[in-house]
Amino acid sequence: METVTELVGSINDFLSTYILIALLIGVGLFFSIRTRFVQLTMFSEMLRVIFEKKKKKGEISAFQAFSISTANRVGSANIAGVALAIASGGPGAVFWMWVVAAIGMATGFIESMLAQVYKVREGDQFRGGPAYYIEKALGMRWLGVLFAVLIAVTFGIIFASLQANTLSNAMDEAFGIDVLVVGVAVALLTAVIIFGGVQRISRMTSIIVPIMTVFYLIVVFYVLLTNLSALPSMFMLIVSEAFGLREAGTGIIMGAILEGTRRGLFSNEAGMGSIPNAAAAAHVSHPVKQGLVQSLGVFFDTIVICSATAFVILLSDVYQTGGANGVALTQASLSDHLGGWAVAFVAIAIFFFAFSSVLGAYYIGETNLQFIKRSTRMLQLYRLAVVCMVVVGSVISIELAWNLADVFMVITAAVNLVAIALMSKIALSVLQDYKKQKKSGIKEPVFYAKNVRGLRGAECWEDASGEKREQA
């Protein structure tokens, strides 16, 4: 097992160094500049559109789509992943997580907007994502199928097992419950919910995610209040180690960049191609609206939740001892601030964070399986595989779980980032259509595909008269 872990780790380092950083930051900067930094100039519009109400019963609102995507984003990476980043890359990794999030907000905007443009209708629901827009916009179904396979395996199999790994280790650390027992229990809960369909998932996540997030942030806010005098030096530490100013060395800087980039992408998933699957399910009058909602999700996940965990760890001295890693480091750090009960609190928090992520990961996998082939048997087998991998993930090592997740994450992200870069002209034209309508005084812009030159395959935006428009 150690040999397998080392091999996967070596592959992970190679892919992260030569593919992930170049593509993720390069494509993110490209879209930031071409959209005139939509993550800044349209931030207030993001806050407005997220609370738009759905029009019909059974529809998934913008907020519910945001909740499904947040359920997938907010998980192990926010508590265990941040701890791993700091343990491996030092405090400077936190700075590079912020950079990845700031740039990734533009990438997340583009991919989610494109998912809305090229979504397909199934009864009263919509499906979509990179597999769909790769086929429709680029005319490359083979690549769409390849992406669908990659992301179904990455999320439903690999990421679900990682969430179970973090959850089981947290429970073992806090309550001494055997990891296998935890894995079996979580697998049974997962089976009960995922066999209920997307509507049950949206209802569960729209309730669980806000509640668990508020409780977690309240506790962290208390820690910050009790350590106000230490905050300036903490921020100085993050910045200085991000650029190797405190301990000069190329290796230190690269380690911080690598860990910050990997953990940032795993956390907010901007550019990975996963969030567009949830974005496509929403009922909105214009694709840009869902792009804005999911861009806000990147900000919320990394700048808010991940930073909260990082501050708890850096305001404690536990991370400097090297005696704990992953979720155990977060538990030990919070315990250092608040006492022994904090270990149990983090375990309970990670249960809700990780469990909701398992549900979100399954939904993404299901959506992509439906793209490949509509088969009830294949879907049932996939559900069974997800449930089984929850058990497997609970008993493998932390290192193997995270390295496997990183390898699949980089490969999946690479395909999607290249695809959206090739579709940049259409994406930017859709954004301009929205801005033009807003500038003319239209409060709620409505999308017509005929207004975007060269747009083909936007089948969900056509009404009875032949004009392409969402059938809401």
Residue by residue, DSSP assigns 30-92 as HHHHHTT-HHHHTHHHHHHHTTPPPSSTTPBPHHHHHHHHHHHHSSHIIIIIHHHHHHHH-TH
Q: What is the DSSP letter of 127?
A: E
How many domains does the structure of the chain reveal? 1
What is the chain's percent helix, strand, coil content, to nearest 5?
75, 0, 20
In a domain, 463, yes or no: no
For residue 113, what pLDDT is reported? 95
pLDDT tens for each residue of 132-147:
999 999 999 999 999 9
C-alpha to C-alpha distance for 102 and 451, rounded to whole angstroms:
30
Residue 125 in 3-state DSSP?
strand
In a domain, 468, yes or no: no
Residue type, 388: C
For residue 465, what pLDDT is reported? 45
Q: Dihedral of CA 166/188/370/287: which sign?
A: negative
In a domain, 460, yes or no: no
Q: Residue 97 belongs to what H/E stretch?
A: helix 92-117
Q: Which residue range is the domain that position 93 belongs to?
A: 2-439
For residue 361, what pLDDT is reported? 81
Nearest-CA neighbor of 34 among 106, 101, 118? 106
23 close to 414: Cβ distance less than 8 angstroms: yes
Phi, psi of 469 (to 5 degrees): -165, 155
For residue 100, what pLDDT is reported? 87
The end-to-end CA distance of the chain, in Å, is: 52
Q: Residue 164 belongs to what H/E stretch?
A: helix 160-175
Q: What radius of gyration, in Å, describes the C-alpha atoms of the chain?
A: 21
Q: How far is CA 58 from CA 78, 235, 367, in A?
A: 31, 46, 18
In a domain, 466, yes or no: no
Nearest-CA neighbor of 91 among 235, 228, 226, 224? 235
In a domain, 452, yes or no: no
Nearest-CA neighbor of 330 among 91, 170, 161? 170
Burial class (CB in 10 A: 0-12, 13-18, 19+), 329: buried
In a domain, 471, yes or no: no
Q: Which residues, given as ranges, of the chain have pLDDT below 50?
A: 248, 250, 464-466, 470-472
In a domain, 11, yes or no: yes
Nearest-CA neighbor of 186 among 396, 384, 358, 363? 358
Chain centroid offset of residue 78 CA: 10
C-alpha to C-alpha distance for 374 and 380, rounded to whole angstroms:
11
C-alpha to C-alpha distance for 293 and 66, rounded to whole angstroms:
7
Nearest-CA neighbor of 296 among 22, 92, 73, 36? 73
Nearest-CA neighbor of 268 among 78, 427, 111? 78
In a domain, 457, yes or no: no
Q: The CATH number of the domain where 125 resides is what?
A: 1.20.1740.10
Q: Dihedral of CA 236/237/243/248: which sign?
A: positive
C-alpha to C-alpha distance for 256 and 310, rounded to whole angstroms:
14
For residue 399, what pLDDT is reported? 82
Phi, psi of 125 (to 5 degrees): -120, 165
Six token digits for residue 299: 């900000």
Q: Residue 419 belongs to what H/E stretch?
A: helix 398-422
For residue 472, what pLDDT is reported? 46
Nearest-CA neighbor of 240 among 252, 251, 228, 229? 252
C-alpha to C-alpha distance for 127 and 104, rounded to whole angstroms:
23
